Amino acid sequence: MSDRSSRAVFVISVAAELAGMHPQTLRIYERKGLIEPHRTPGGTRRYTPEDIEKLQLIQELTSQGLNLEGVKRVLELQEENRQLKKKLDRLRDKLEAMEEEMERRIEEVARSYRREIVLRSQVAEIMRLDRR
């Protein structure tokens, strides 16, 4: 059982009541692709609390004058925005890890150079000893 299906507990009549609309309206929204309730093996629609929130948003947008195509576009843009934010978070995490690795490597190289640096005075001393 998926996480979504385990949270899909409201039958259509309860979901409609919680969202403040008629059950037939939920069926119309499903046909228009605005909402996609979970279906039980028997075909019964089940709605999650997130579905109820989405239905309330749809109701709010339509009451402000948006038609269902406009509402669908708003929902698509919201989902796209959510996906882009998730991707941005992943990229930020990756960049942070890369920056930490770069700093570690720079420090490692700097330490290795410190061992290899020979002061001019040391070179002069070595050359003087070689001449003997």
**Which CATH architecture group holds 3-116?**
Orthogonal Bundle (1.10)
More confident residue, 33 or 1: 33
Report pLDDT for 112: 79
Average pLDDT over residues 10-37: 96
Q: In the chain, what are the domain boundaries?
A: 3-116
In sequence order, what E strands does the chain have? 38-39, 45-46
On average, the pLDDT of the chain sits at 90
What gap in Å lies between CA 127 and CA 109, rounded to an integer? 28
Average pLDDT over residues 113-129: 70
Q: Is the whole-model pTM more than 0.85?
A: no
For residue range 79-119, what is the model confidence (pLDDT) as tens digits? 999 999 999 999 999 999 999 999 999 998 888 776 666 66
Average pLDDT over residues 39-54: 95
End-to-end CA separation in angstroms for the chain: 86
Residues facing residue 46 across a β-bridge? 38
For residue range 55-74, what is the model confidence (pLDDT) as tens digits? 999 999 999 999 999 999 99
Give percent of the chain with pLDDT exceeding 70.
Answer: 89
Other CB atoms closer than 10 Å to residue 19's CB: what's the count? Answer: 24
What is the residue-wise DSSP string for 6-40?
A: HH--B-HHHHHHHHTS-HHHHHHHHHTTS---EE-
Other CB atoms closer than 10 Å to residue 1's CB: what's the count? Answer: 6
- Given a contact cutoff of 8 angstroms between Cβ atoms, the answer to whether 74 and 34 are in contact is no
User: How many Cα atoms occupy the beta-carbon half-sphere of 74 within 13 Å?
Assistant: 16
Quote the radius of gyration of the chain (alpha carbons, Å). Answer: 32
Report pLDDT for 5: 62
